[in-house]
Structure 1
Amino acid sequence: MVIYRFLSGEDDSAFCHKVTKALSEGWLLYGEPHYVFDAGAGKMRCGQAVTKEVADQPYDPDKKLIDYV
């Protein structure tokens, strides 16, 4: 089974660390990063989709994605 996450945050080094941590845990980049201007906060926001292949198991919407192995 393939699981999907969308990481998002302010366009700063903390966001880059969030993506790097996901990659170090076996997640793979999926598609291009996205950028949007948050006019209310006056800041750029970014997002990156990641996917991960996990052992076949029943999908449970109450289970945290990081708990799938």
Structure 2
Amino acid sequence: MKLYRLLTADDDAAFCRKVTEALNEGWRLHGSPAYAFDAARGVMRCAQAVVKDKPGVYDPARPLREQ
């Protein structure tokens, strides 16, 4: 099966840790990161897509990071 996740967070060290954790769990970067200004909160937000190939069948009831 092919799995896809979009990681999002404020543009800070926590976002980098989230992406690093996903990479260490076997996810691969997919495309470039995206940035947008959250005017309501006054902060930059980041997004990075990650993908993973795994044997088995996708189970929508289970969180993606557990598949």
* TM-score for both structures, normalised by structure 2: 0.94
Please tell me whether residue 3 in structure 1 is matched to residue 10 in structure 2: no
Q: Deviations over 1:1-57 (max 9, x none)?
A: 1100000000000000000000001000000100000000000000000000111x2
The Cα of 1:67 is off from its aligned counterpart by 1.7
Deviation at residue 66 of structure 1 after TM alignment:
1.6
Q: What one-letter code is carried by the residue in structure 2 that aligns with 1:7?
A: L
Q: Distance in 1 between matches of 2:8 and 2:35?
A: 10
Rounded Cα–Cα distance in structure 1 between residues aligned with 2:38 and 2:51: 26
Q: Which runs of 5 or more structure 2 residues have no equivalent in the other structure?
A: none
| Separation (CA, whole Å) in 1 of partners of 2:22 and 2:57 | 22
Tell me the percent identity: 54
Alignment of 1:21-40 (within 5 A): 21-40=21-40
**CA-based RMSD:** 0.8
Aligned-partner SS, 2:36? strand
SS at match of 1:30: strand
Q: How many residues align?
A: 67
Q: Give the corresponding residue for 1:58.
A: 57
